[in-house]
Structure 1
């Protein structure tokens, strides 16, 4: 899955699909408002390309 590239000057992140990574390492593109509906109880954090752990 291609990660969504967030550009603060262009996008408001809550209105756009985000790439969420679960504790199992699975990734899904889901909007901020819909995250709990689609990923109940398994969201670890949104995955930002610039925030990725080495």
Structure 2
């Protein structure tokens, strides 16, 4: 699996799946734009590398 460090200044990363962590410690793969709609309790930044889309 290819892993990348999240770089918010690079827009093309925003369209790719990211692994975000909620305040409860649960991790989900959600796109940058949809993160707060699907996970209101998500923390401000991903705590895991973002993964390249297949």
Shorter chain as denominator, the TM-score bin is 0.5 to 0.7
Unaligned residue ranges in structure 1 (runs of 5+): none
Looking at secondary structure, tell me which structure has more strand per residue: 1
Aligned-residue CA RMSD (Å): 6.7
Please say which structure displays the higher CA radius of gyration.
1
**More displaced stretch, 27-36 vs 41-50:** 41-50
The normalised TM-score by structure 2 is 0.59
Conserved? CA contact 2:19–2:49, under 8 Å: no
Unaligned residue ranges in structure 2 (runs of 5+): none
> Which consecutive aligned stretches of 4+ in structure 1 deviate over 3 angstroms post-superposition?
1-11, 49-54
Structure having greater relative contact order (Cα 8 Å, sep ≥ 6):
2
The normalised TM-score by structure 1 is 0.59
